[in-house]
Amino acid sequence: MPEFKIQHLTKYTYPAPVRDSANQIILYPIQDEWQEVIKQEIRISGDPVIDTFIDYYGNKVGGFTYSEPHSTLLIDSKILVQTKHKPLPGNDIFPAQQWEDLKHLRFMVPYIDFLRLEQFEGFDDLKALVEAEKSKEDTPYQAVLRFSRYVYDNFRYIKGVTSVETTMDEIWKLKAGVCQDFAHILTLMLRLVDIPARYVSGYICTHRSTIMRGEGATHAWAEAYIPDYGWLGIDPTNNCIANETHIRLAVGRNFSDCSPVKGVYKGTSDHRLDVSVNVGYEDDAPSMNQPVEFINTPPEHTEHKPLSNIPKNSYQRYLEMLQQQQQQQQ
């Protein structure tokens, strides 16, 4: 069984001190029969108390605040995790029955969120493409492989052209992006043919002899629900099954549900983000205490905004209106 040591560092640097930083982290690997966390350490600047809870999708989520003025915020997560190979779906000779089973899932609570379609300007074009690409002879498993191959072949992997705020329409027009964009496109394609699909965040752990897209940072892929099998991991960025070399942190509808780090703070809107992910293996794994060199990474995998930049919802606007009325009456 493969065993990996992973150190994930996130460092925010501000040109002037900021304060009242409130943050959410999803840096706790999923625990199930295919993935076991043997040990984990998380250290954060200011040594705050981390409150944890389990969200709607079963992810372990942490929250903390750092109220004192600070010019740097460092989040250092170290994990030791062991994985098992998950057998792949068998070759089913009754694809029609599987497709019929999938149709019934649209009314079942665990799958409703993973079948919802995101409307965007190019939706009809994508729908027509999916109709043209699918084959009546395919089982759901074969359809998943077919659409993964399409994304891999037709979308260019280019860092820096998208961010967490890039819309689906922009991704569709660019036909380019990074792993999170590939995962978003694939999940939507699968949902268009009634296959429940969810977004997955985590790490890709390959040996030094193998080079794959997404190494050295957090990674993203999709999971598709296959009747009589369960959730199958599929990585369209590398066009491969996501199995024992893909460490899962969280699952959700999209990136927003799974963002490893996101938060707000009071202070300057300028900041520098540095992210580093270092992976060690059974035979050459570094010490859990070994320092890691930072790699400057565009903020594609985190959401960290000053409070002044956060959109206000209707309730916030209502409270502000009441406050203004009270001030006018005084």
pLDDT of residue 152: 96
pLDDT of residue 280: 84
Q: How many CA atoms lie within 13 A of 124 on its CB side?
A: 1
pLDDT of residue 90: 80
CATH 3.10.620.30 holds for 95-253? yes
CA distance 68 to 267: 12
CA distance 279 to 249: 15
CA distance 170 to 162: 9
CA distance 111 to 36: 25
pLDDT of residue 91: 65
pLDDT of residue 287: 46
pLDDT of residue 162: 86
**Which tokens in the block code for residue 205?**
């752990």
Q: Which of 252, 275, 313, 311 is nearest to 61 (CA)?
A: 252
pLDDT of residue 206: 75
pLDDT of residue 312: 42
pLDDT of residue 282: 61
Residues with Cβ < 8 Å from 98, sequence gap 6 or more? 92, 139, 140, 226, 227, 228
CATH 3.10.620.30 boundaries in the chain: 95-253
Q: Which of 236, 241, 262, 259 is nearest to 179 (CA)?
A: 236
With beta carbons less than 8 A apart as the criterion, state whether 43 and 7 touch. Answer: no
In this structure, which topology does domain 3-83+257-309 adopt according to CATH? Immunoglobulin-like (2.60.40)
Collapsing DSSP to helix, strand or coil, 319 comes out as helix
pLDDT of residue 217: 72
Residue found under tokens 């999709």: 222
pLDDT of residue 295: 38
CATH 2.60.40.2250 boundaries in the chain: 3-83+257-309
Q: pTM of the full predicted structure?
A: 0.84
With beta carbons less than 8 A apart as the criterion, state whether 305 and 267 touch. Answer: no
Q: From residue 288, how far is each of 28, 80, 110, 214, 277 by CA, in Å?
A: 16, 9, 37, 22, 13
Mean pLDDT of successive 10-residue stretches along the chain, which has 330 residues: 91 95 96 96 96 96 96 96 92 83 92 94 94 92 97 93 86 92 96 97 78 76 95 96 95 94 91 89 52 40 53 41 51
Measured CA angle at 148 (ends 199, 180), to 5 deg: 35
